[in-house]
Structure 1
Amino acid sequence: MHLPQPRRTPASPPGRRLMRSLLAGLAVAAAMTAGAIATAATAAPSEPLGPEVIRTDQPPTGYSVTFRYQPPQGVESVHIYGDWFYSHPESVTCNDCGDGRHPSEWRLGDIAATPWRILPMERGDDGVWSITVPLPAGSFRYAFTHDCTNVLATGCTLHDDPANPWKIQPQYAGAPGAVRSTIYVPESKKFPTYDTDYQAPPRPNKAGTLETRRYPSPLSTNPVGVHDIVVYLPHDYDPDRATPYPTLYLSHGGGDHSTAWTMQGVAHHILENAIQDGAAQPMVIVSTDFNGLPGGNLGYVNELRNNVIPFVEQNYNVSTRAEDRAFGGFSAGGSRAYTLMYDHTALFGYHAAWSAGGPQASQVQIDRMKGVAGGIMIGTGLQDRLGNIAENSQRNAAALKAAGVDVDEYNVPGVHTWHVWRPLLNHYLRELVFRATATELGIDTEPAGGSGNVRLTAVATIDPVTTSVTAPSGTVDFYAGDQYLGSAPVRDGAARFHQTVDGALLDEPVIAHYRGDELFNESRSTPAEAH
């Protein structure tokens, strides 16, 4: 996000400054003679417009943001509308319930809650309206209202901040999502609030590229015949790299658009931070749009299979293997994620459904999910009362795990907001997506003297499920049944173990357990019988 900075003009030579001064004096005299007297409403702002993040080292959060905005002439009142009201988790007993406290009343343990409310701004002598809001760490959306009298901004037009607009705007008229200005606030060491460093914008020389693309879509009714996606290419994306990139496809929820996951969800920032931390490999992100697609969930699945995925794989250096694709969606997008996960499982190697209850799975669907090559994640905000989402999500995750499906369940405090979906995505990137491995074990034995000992040679090969330019590293532990035999380091994708053991131990099958490393998750081999 770009924050406006004061404009600095290079110093002029003395002679030029004198001439400029004389001309300015003549201009002022002429204007006064004509009766053109500047008013506060048209005067140049004394301070830069837009948001300014200020480190205060004062309670409750150690940071504040000053917003400066200049509306058109004739506006009598201006309010700011932002997602920064807070509640104690136990006070959230229904959707849009809770304390709803102003950010100046933030308390440790609070969750960001709904609904948003407008806050009044003050007009300065220069015609600029301003407000200073103390904020905890995180990413926030905001907009301005003109002459709005409804505390929830119901019926009021929302205006983006012209000094801080989002870089990617919808390509068609009537696209949902009216709040398209964002701000990031770091965490104060003196007043810790939330660990949201993973959302911080990367340095410009470490940032990737956002693109808005329009592709042919016979299914689309709005716009007719074409549809939109937003594509993020990671830092140092190489269109000619020999190893193609994996792709993460994301779906927004109701009332959003293809810009949502990068504008509001800062998915590209979350990815770049994970890459720089060595916790995720570079990948392409595709943020889809389910508006204007008939057929509900199945229509969206058909759009992915027939139009979106082919377009992406033809226009970017990405893999065409299902194992190298991941999907994630929240709310209405989470419902679409369940349809993919249950009935079109093989289209993706990794699946994630967030803030969606999910229907009960049949045995056929359970069997499909047991065969997922990568992994499945289910998560929600623990206080999400919208249609009992929190309760239903946890119940569905428990049922799938009880049925033998390997589910990574990850829930966080919060309601139905981006303050929940950002950490869920962060977990998906750092703990599951494109991190799966498969361990294969080969063993051989030979006699080692007459004491019943044998010489065991075990070779464990560690293969990434996803195509990767990086090979797994770390350590493999070897077991005979439950008896630990020893460990060996992974070199060039394999761990080689040689040891003389009591032959009686090998009456039990040998298993290799790869521990995982910063980029790849653990895996176990199937039991191997000694010969």
Structure 2
Amino acid sequence: MPVAIPRPLLPPPRRRLLLALFAAVAVAVAATTVVAPAASAAPPARLGPTVTRTDTPPTGYEVTFRYRAHEDVQQVHVYGDWFYSRPENITCQDCGDARPPAEWQPGDVAATPWHILPMSKGPDGVWTLTTPLPAGTFRYAFTHDCANELATGCTLHDDPANRWQIQPQYPGAPGAVRSTIYVPASRKFPTYDTGYQAPVARVGRLESRRYTSPLSTNPAGVHDIVVYLPHGYDPHRATPYPTLYLSHGSGDHSTAWTMQGVAHLILENAIADRAVQPMVIVSTDFNGLPGGNEGYVNELRNNIFPFVEQNYRVSTRAQDRAFAGFSAGGSRAYTLMYDHTDLFGYHAAWSAGGPAATQAQIDSMKAVAGGIMIGTGLQDRLGNIAENSQRNAAALRAAGVELDEYNVPGVHTWHVWRPLLDHYLRTLTFRATTTGLDVTSAPAGASDHSRVTATATVDAVSTSTTAPAGRVDFYAGDTHLGSAPVHNGVARLNKTIHRGLNAPVVAHYRGDTLFNASQSAPVDAR
């Protein structure tokens, strides 16, 4: 309906302003279908979750869930991974305090099992629940007329207003919970340091890809992966990207690591912090692959690697690939780490006990180009995983295998695997360096002194568009000769020393924000 604008007796500037205001109203009226409600009626409730900062205990934030079910449904519950326990009270899998988030306490860990929380139905037919939540990423679903407190036997419904970007790629794919919510940390009521998994403004692209797989039985002849291309991905970049391959655990498939694990957000936050270089993430699916762990290895070698390397600008070298898996995926990580170190330069096994290694396997692990990480939740009682993981890490270290052991409070949940991935990215993946050294000497002015020139060459093990920077320290025995900056991969020190200091020289590269430290072998002056 056109809006009539009278011609007021106003000065030209005010007249133009009034005309603009009336025009804006006319556009809004034309673009909106208006149903005349009663004067006191409230606008319809927005569906989906809403995160609100409250600055009140216990967590400083709350989340309101709004969900519309079929009118025949008598009761709706929210089912989510936000029940808490004191660490010392978790004496077995699914043991603990099972306190709801409204009763969260400092020092709590997220524990299993999940429980259901009742929602209330409003006069508009929308079911709602408002609950405090600590910082972090949470999974949730809804149940309809479910009488079991643990939702056992009940159908789980994802949130239509907050669905995962990528839905299951084939019928029967495991992983029923397909909605997540992120809650920031409160400064006034701090809970967990989870900013590394926060949503980012600049995000890359998630792709659901299907490739030919003669090994696959489900789906027959083909299989699925989820690929994440980092923000700014350039298919024509001169330097190929390194690739991180991830494996889920039992009961999940290839969507799990980016949707439940928010691996892509963890990566982008690390890139923004200049703690890691851009990389491609490939989330695999071990379901429907016969042959157990070895069958999965064959799938990687024969089908996944060729597909990824033909379709994306990624390196084909082993030292430019990293692998990580948890639980059943951690078992596959051990198989790769023990018996197939030629496929990856970096290995990580999480929440998996791991078998004892043979001497041949230990020797193979000592030659890994990049690095090895083992980690677990410290309260993971599923098959004594926490104890077995720590025991196996200690045995490997005692056998001379260099590894990074990183354990966090928690049980067998994503609240453990997300920080393990963050640690892996920021401390290990594609950060390895090698340091070479050349030392020459010549007589100095005094007969008992020599002029030593030590030249260290620092190289990145993995492909990178950035060269290592920082400084190199030079030592003769325990004597610090001095340090020098790294320019274009080279650090050089000229030093006059007493000839009585007759010890080989060693160069220690300190590392920088993108690269880890390394040191040369001892070198005698020529």
Q: Distance in 1 between matches of 2:168 and 2:488?
A: 46
The one-character-per-residue Cα deviations of 1:442-494 (angstroms, maximum 9, x if unpaired) are: 11100002331100001100000001000000000000011111000011111
Structure 1 residues 457 and 148: CA distance shift in structure 2, 3 A: same
Cα contact 1:45–1:126 (8 A) shared by 2: no
Confirm or deny that 1:480 pairs with 2:476.
yes
The one-character-per-residue Cα deviations of 1:291-313 (angstroms, maximum 9, x if unpaired) are: 00000000000000000011000
Shift, 1:530, TM fit: 1.3
Shift, 1:499, TM fit: 1.1
User: Which runs of 5 or more structure 1 residues have no equivalent in the other structure?
Assistant: 1-9, 29-37
Confirm or deny that 1:67 pairs with 2:65.
yes
Shift, 1:420, TM fit: 0.2
Partner of 1:35: none
DSSP 3-state at the match of 2:486: strand
2:218 to 209, 222, 234: 222
Cα contact 1:439–1:460 (8 A) shared by 2: yes
Equivalent position amino acid for 1:193 in 2 = T
Partner of 2:259: 263
DSSP 3-state at the match of 2:302: helix
Q: Distance in 1 between matches of 2:438 and 2:86?
A: 55
Q: Distance in 2 between matches of 1:214 and 1:232?
A: 14
Q: How many pairs were matched up?
A: 501
Q: Distance in 2 between matches of 1:221 and 1:16?
A: 57
Structure 1 residues 463 and 14: CA distance shift in structure 2, 3 A: closer
Structure 1 residues 20 and 282: CA distance shift in structure 2, 3 A: closer
DSSP 3-state at the match of 1:425: helix
Q: Distance in 2 between matches of 1:15 and 1:130?
A: 30
Shift, 1:410, TM fit: 0.3
Partner of 2:157: 159
Partner of 2:507: 512
Shift, 1:233, TM fit: 0.3
Partner of 2:409: 413
DSSP 3-state at the match of 1:176: coil
Q: Distance in 1 between matches of 2:28 and 2:100?
A: 55
Cα contact 1:45–1:128 (8 A) shared by 2: no
The one-character-per-residue Cα deviations of 1:386-413 (angstroms, maximum 9, x if unpaired) are: 0000000000000000000001000000
DSSP 3-state at the match of 2:394: helix
Shift, 1:20, TM fit: 8.0
Confirm or deny that 1:525 pairs with 2:520.
yes
Shift, 1:147, TM fit: 0.4
Q: Distance in 1 between matches of 2:28 and 2:237?
A: 57
Partner of 2:491: 495
Q: Distance in 2 between matches of 1:511 and 1:45?
A: 72
Equivalent position amino acid for 1:258 in 2 = S
Confirm or deny that 1:316 pairs with 2:312.
yes
Q: Distance in 2 between matches of 1:15 and 1:515?
A: 62
Confirm or deny that 1:90 pairs with 2:103.
no
DSSP 3-state at the match of 1:93: coil
Cα contact 1:121–1:130 (8 A) shared by 2: yes
Shift, 1:73, TM fit: 2.0
Partner of 1:3: none
Equivalent position amino acid for 2:523 in 1 = A
Partner of 2:12: none
Q: Distance in 1 between matches of 2:42 and 2:138?
A: 28
Equivalent position amino acid for 2:489 in 1 = G
Cα contact 1:45–1:127 (8 A) shared by 2: no
Equivalent position amino acid for 2:147 in 1 = T
User: Which runs of 5 or more structure 2 residues have no equivalent in the other structure?
Assistant: 1-22
Equivalent position amino acid for 2:321 in 1 = R
Structure 1 residues 406 and 252: CA distance shift in structure 2, 3 A: same
Q: Distance in 2 between matches of 1:347 and 1:172?
A: 28
DSSP 3-state at the match of 1:443: strand
DSSP 3-state at the match of 1:346: coil
Partner of 2:13: none
The one-character-per-residue Cα deviations of 1:146-189 (angstroms, maximum 9, x if unpaired) are: 00000000000000000000001111000000000000000000
Shift, 1:47, TM fit: 1.3
1:117 to 115, 118, 122: 115
CA RMSD of aligned residues (A): 1.7
Partner of 1:339: 335
Q: Distance in 2 between matches of 1:238 and 1:284?
A: 11
Structure 1 residues 462 and 12: CA distance shift in structure 2, 3 A: same
Cα contact 1:278–1:519 (8 A) shared by 2: yes
Structure 1 residues 255 and 445: CA distance shift in structure 2, 3 A: same
Shift, 1:346, TM fit: 1.0
Equivalent position amino acid for 1:254 in 2 = S
DSSP 3-state at the match of 1:90: helix
Structure 1 residues 418 and 449: CA distance shift in structure 2, 3 A: same
Q: Distance in 2 between matches of 1:160 and 1:498?
A: 66
Structure 1 residues 16 and 46: CA distance shift in structure 2, 3 A: closer
Partner of 1:58: 56
TM-score by length of 2: 0.93
Q: Distance in 1 between matches of 2:495 and 2:240?
A: 40
Shift, 1:13, TM fit: 2.5
DSSP 3-state at the match of 1:347: coil
Cα contact 1:251–1:330 (8 A) shared by 2: yes
DSSP 3-state at the match of 2:342: helix
Partner of 1:249: 245
Partner of 1:376: 372
